[in-house]
Structure 1
Amino acid sequence: MDTLGGCFERDRRSERPVLEDGTGRTFDAHWLRTSAWKAGNFLRHTGVRRGVTVGISGSGPLALLALFGTGLLEGTVRFDPPRDGRSIDGLRTVVAPVDELDTYDLPPGAQRVGYGGKPTNPAVHHFDAGLWSENPSFPPLEIDPETPLLTNGTRTYDHGTVLAAAREVVEDWGLETGDRVVVEAPLSDPRTVVAGVVAPLLVDAITVLPGTETKYEGAEILIDRASTERHGATAGRRRPVSSVELE
């Protein structure tokens, strides 16, 4: 498996939980993979494709679906993009909470996609509603592993690099199906995406997302196998994001 597309093949859908949001609500692998396809189909309408960048604000399930949909379309994701969108190379779309969208200064032709509420501006695409009504299927994927997937504005990482780093996390950290991987670091760091999102996808572990008011005192991932507690649980193993090797 050399690209993100391999994580979203049809035969990987199941009722196994793979995602938990900041309220404790869980989502299964069938929902995640079908919704990722829907996100890709929806974002395609805004012009997302290879060679463009999508800025994503937030750290909830819809932000992750925007990541997956963009990756399936061969676009490049930048989490927590600067408000000056004109400074981002190839910016095509910004996906953010509705009440944040007006704070972005976007280049001509760039699209705004809002979630978490119904946009009052008719020019803003409504992500929540689009996911509900979008086609729940996606054409077979043939993504080149050298296709860019993540950027932090300084460096860009392709699918092959991200997946290789995620496989190393699985092996080095001993991730297994059903493990709860608590994300306690910002997604704007590509290493957080590798260890907290992509690595769990490979083995159907459970990514546990932070609450909306979470303030990061460190940059860590908690692998919690024994406890059902959320952030700050004493059971489990803490790994600093800095230990993720992403070349």
Structure 2
Amino acid sequence: MQTLADVLARDRRSDAPALFAEGPTTQRYDYRRFLTTAWKTGNLLHKLGVRTGAEVAIVPSARAQPVLTFLGASLLGAVTTFDPSREVEARAFVAPTDRLGEYDIAPGTATIGYGADPENPAHDYWEGGVWSENPTMPPEPATPSDPILDDGDRRYTHADLLAGAEWAVDELALTAEDTVSVGGRVASPAVLAAGVIAPLVAGASTRLDGGDGDTAGVVDGASIDVSDGFFERVEASR
């Protein structure tokens, strides 16, 4: 696997569980629905003008929508930034609908609310927009060297995140029968690599548990250190 497009490829769809999250509603995705929704999210972003190199800003939470938005953006070669400043300048901005009013959004930024249908017609509704999109892989080709995540200190490429994910698969001895429990808001590069992408690589599932601290580990099994220095440890293992 060289890019997240390979991780989210059509032939990987199945009825196996992919993601579970508690919240206002319980979210359950099997691989068929999860992969298809990631593609549809990418197509929605593409329709709103997101292309390779464009910035997508996301307000994270322990819900499926931010994860799927990140994956959809990655399929376009766009660069995701989580936890943007109050003044948002990006090609697309995605946040819980009830928090959109907290931000000063630059003109020309496509604004998408998730969790509830925005009353302001200037904002798109994530669930409605994604539901109506084509269930096909987005048209923008991605390459391993495309940066897709910016944490303010470094830009991570497809290759970087996949290296972290593959290392986590080995460290956790992940199999398709495992579930990885993820704490926190699922926004740091290490948590995304170890808690989201690694289970996808292994055909395992992710459970978003929320909470205050970033954690990732197999349910009733091993955990992995997702603190600062995660990618340095990945590099040192090569």
Q: Same fold judged by TM-score > 0.5?
A: yes
Q: Distance in 1 between matches of 2:53 and 2:140?
A: 17
TM-score of the superposition, structure 2-length normalised?
0.90
TM-score of the superposition, structure 1-length normalised?
0.87
Question: Alignment partner of 1:26: what SS?
Answer: strand
Pairing 1:72–2:68 present: no
Deviation at 1:116, TM superposition (A): 0.8
The corresponding residue for 1:84 is 87
Deviation at 1:25, TM superposition (A): 4.1
Q: Distance in 1 between matches of 2:58 and 2:27?
A: 22
Deviation at 1:154, TM superposition (A): 1.9
Q: Distance in 1 between matches of 2:81 and 2:48?
A: 16
Deviation at 1:141, TM superposition (A): 6.5
Q: Distance in 2 between matches of 1:195 and 1:154?
A: 19
The corresponding residue for 1:51 is 53
**Contact 1:182–1:209 (Cα < 8 Å) also in 2:** yes
Deviations for 1:175-199, whole angstroms, at most 9, x for unmatched residues? Answer: 1112111111342311110100111
Aligned CA RMSD, in angstroms, stands at 1.8
Question: Alignment partner of 2:231: what SS?
Answer: coil
Deviations for 1:151-210, whole angstroms, at most 9, x for unmatched residues? Answer: 112211011111111111111221111211111134231111010011111011111112
Deviation at 1:140, TM superposition (A): 6.7
Matches within 5 A, 1:186-201: 186-201=185-200
**Unaligned segments of structure 1, at least 5 residues:** 225-234
The corresponding residue for 2:211 is 215
The corresponding residue for 1:32 is 34
Question: Alignment partner of 2:65: what SS?
Answer: helix
Q: Distance in 2 between matches of 1:144 and 1:183?
A: 28
Change (3 A) 1:77 1:240: same
Moved more, 20-29 or 124-133: 20-29
**Contact 1:83–1:104 (Cα < 8 Å) also in 2:** yes
Q: Distance in 2 between matches of 1:133 and 1:180?
A: 30
Identity across aligned pairs (percent)?
Answer: 38
Deviation at 1:132, TM superposition (A): 1.4
Q: Distance in 2 between matches of 1:102 and 1:180?
A: 36
Pairing 1:20–2:20 present: yes
Deviation at 1:240, TM superposition (A): 2.2
Moved more, 23-32 or 53-62: 23-32
Q: Aligned letter for 1:108? A: P
